Amino acid sequence: MLRKRLITVLTFNEGVLFRTKLFTPDYRYTANFVDAWSIDEIVVLDITRDRRGKEERFAEVVSGFASRCFVPLAAGGGIRSVADVRRYLGYGADKVVVNTGALERPELITEVATLFGSQCVVASIDAKRTDDGHYDVHAACGTHATGRDAVAWAQEAEERGAGEVLITAMDRDGHLQGYDLDLCRRVADAVSVPVLILGGAGNWNHFLAGFVEGDASAVCTQNIYHFTEKSISSAKKFLIEAGVPVRL
Amino acid sequence: MIGIVDYGLGNLVSVAAAVARLGFEATVSAEAEVLWDCDKIILPGVGAFGDGMRNLEERELVAPLTRMVKDDGKPILGICLGSQLISRASDEFGLCQGLGWVDAHCQRLAPDEPGLRVPHVGWNDLIQVRDDPLFQNIPEDALFYYVHSYFVKPEDSDLVVGECDYGGRMASVLRRENICATQFHPEKSQRHGLTLLRNFLDSA
């Protein structure tokens, strides 16, 4: 039986680990909180605004995780070409997270999937709820509304070859109030690839809701472990008791 | 020396890192001469079957690897796509011929259960259906990381030493003499993955 996944997403600004709130670097961390033996997967994102001349810093982050943590590692931030993907894979990433680059040029997803396989492409979608109940996709770290519908874009990403969809509710980022389950469920119903949900987890019940009500294949967290003494393994014990199959 | 076959596809860095962590020397190479000098070979790989075969052919590795494995008996571990390439053929993007080292055929996953998604991504069981040196010190409840849309369907069930369940049983570890293969990624499966990899590297 396939287990549900808990994924840690770490954001790096100029090679330094930051937590984010509403998509803005919010607080610098001095220690690495990743519980390497309990987490199922790690996503590292470069949120540096101007990367020119600073690529090395994030390269060191990725290769550091690749050589120490023997779990799947996805890397993203600023990927716009196959050359960028090759660079990230060369650092030791197993998959790449594409976002704005795919919005600007949707063929990017197909190019990467054709060359490296669908399993290598995670389509990341930053979505904001509109007044009429839809979800609008935002690009460039959430700064720019695209007018695209998040569910339709998730479907297109799948058709173009994305192997997983990472969906982030922008309004929830850093607020610890729970995932946007409506958004997650809509996307999960619309695509057949695994859906990863990010943004808003504040306690273990939010994970449970993400799996049960959101139909997520994986729940992602950025901030929660920084605010709690509890560990990922305690979250997993909670989930198992609640009937969700996870890896202990 | 452990030879990791570089045919332009796959997470070579991860495999090399795992081998290094276990204290073995490894070389990542696309040169048949270099691989001939290695004690053991790892054929990693992610991506499409057709590209995998094409890249092996372009690097003129098909015939040398086949001689190393079939004639010389060099131990080889195929991982993920590498585990599929050793079969006769795959249905992926039309019928593609494989290395043909084992009697098997790759088919697209079609899990017979609602709600199961393709690709099969995440941690799943390794059901040890036969004893194998690879399974030494691997507990029955150990989980491994899978990520694939196709799976290997052997014509000879004796080949299968490990299975997993994803809307039906499928082969996840194959063994024929010096040839072994895992559909999951041991190099991405933490302690149990490293143990399995060590079992391969330690084997005579």
- Burial (CB count within 10 angstroms: exposed 0-12, middle 13-18, buried 19+), residue B128: middle
User: What is the model's pLDDT at position B9?
Assistant: 79
The average confidence (pLDDT) of chain A is: 90
Residue A230 pLDDT > 80, yes or no?
Answer: no
Structure tokens at A54: 């600073």
User: What is the model's pLDDT at position A55?
Assistant: 83
**What is the average pLDDT across A136-156?**
94
* Domain that includes residue A189, residue range: 5-241
Range from A193-202, B4-13, B28-37, B149-158 carrying the lowest mean pLDDT: B4-13
User: What is the model's pLDDT at position B160?
Assistant: 97
Cα separation of B49 and A177, whole Å?
Answer: 44
Residue with tokens 């946007």: A180
pLDDT band at A23 (very low <50, low <70, confident <90, very high): confident
Residue with tokens 């709690």: A228
Closest CA to B121 of A118, A139, A56, A18: A118
Cα separation of A72 and A43, whole Å?
Answer: 8
A246 domain-assigned: no
Number of domains observed in the structure of chain B: 1
- Per CB-CB distance under 8 Å, the chain B contacts of A247 are 123, 143
A47 domain-assigned: yes
Cα separation of A39 and A35, whole Å?
Answer: 6
Residue with tokens 């119903």: A189
Closest CA to A199 of A2, A7, A5, A3: A7
A81 domain-assigned: yes
pLDDT band at B185 (very low <50, low <70, confident <90, very high): very high
Query: Which residues of B lie closer than 8 Å to A, measured between beta carbons?
Result: 9, 11, 13-14, 17-18, 20-21, 46-48, 51, 81, 115-125, 143, 145-149, 165-166, 185, 187-191, 193-194
Indicate whether this complex's ipTM tops 0.85: yes
User: What is the model's pLDDT at position A81?
Assistant: 97
CB contact under 8 A, A115 and B47: yes
Cα separation of B14 and A76, whole Å?
Answer: 17
User: What is the model's pLDDT at position A210?
Assistant: 98
The CATH number for A41's domain is 3.20.20.70
- Out of A66, A114, A164, name the one closest to residue B13 (CB): A66
CB A167 within 8 Å of CB A215:
no
The CATH number for B100's domain is 3.40.50.880
Residue A227 pLDDT > 70, yes or no?
Answer: no
Q: What is the pTM of this model?
A: 0.93
- Per CB-CB distance under 8 Å, the chain A contacts of B20 are 67
Structure tokens at A123: 């389509």
User: What is the model's pLDDT at position A39?
Assistant: 87
Residue with tokens 């996307």: A187
CB A158 within 8 Å of CB A184:
no
Active site (catalytic) residues of B: 80, 185, 187
User: What is the model's pLDDT at position A225?
Assistant: 64
Give the pLDDT confidence of A25-39 residue by residue, as tens digits: 777 765 455 556 688
Categorise residue A37: left if φ over 0, alpha if ψ from -120 to 50, beta otherwise: alpha
For residue A38, CA distances in Å to A135, B125, B186, B201 come to 33, 16, 16, 25
**What is the average pLDDT across A110-133?**
93
A·B CB contacts under 8 A: 102
Q: Is A221 helix (H, G, I), strand (E, B) or coil?
A: strand
pLDDT band at A224 (very low <50, low <70, confident <90, very high): low
* Domain that includes residue B184, residue range: 2-202
A153 domain-assigned: yes
The average confidence (pLDDT) of chain B is: 94
User: What is the model's pLDDT at position A233?
Assistant: 84
Residue A66 pLDDT > 80, yes or no?
Answer: yes
CB contact under 8 A, A2 and B116: yes
A17 domain-assigned: yes
**What is the average pLDDT across A163-167?**
97
A202 domain-assigned: yes
Beta-bridge partners for A42: A8, A73
Number of domains observed in the structure of chain A: 1
CB B96 within 8 Å of CB B55:
no
Residue with tokens 């550091």: A64
User: What is the model's pLDDT at position A34?
Assistant: 59
Q: How near does any CA of chain B get to the CA of A18, in Å?
A: 25
A248 domain-assigned: no
Range from A38-47, A99-108, A148-157 carrying the lowest mean pLDDT: A38-47
Q: Residues near A109 by Cβ (< 8 Å), separated by ≥ 6?
A: A98, A102, A121, A123, A157, A160, A161, A162
Cα separation of B154 and A37, whole Å?
Answer: 34
Q: Residues near A19 by Cβ (< 8 Å), separated by ≥ 6?
A: A11, A25, A26, A27, A29, A174, A222, A223, A226
Cα separation of A26 and A24, whole Å?
Answer: 6
Q: How near does any CA of chain B get to the CA of A24, in Å?
A: 30
First to last CA, chain A: 14
A129 domain-assigned: yes
CB contact under 8 A, B123 and A3: yes
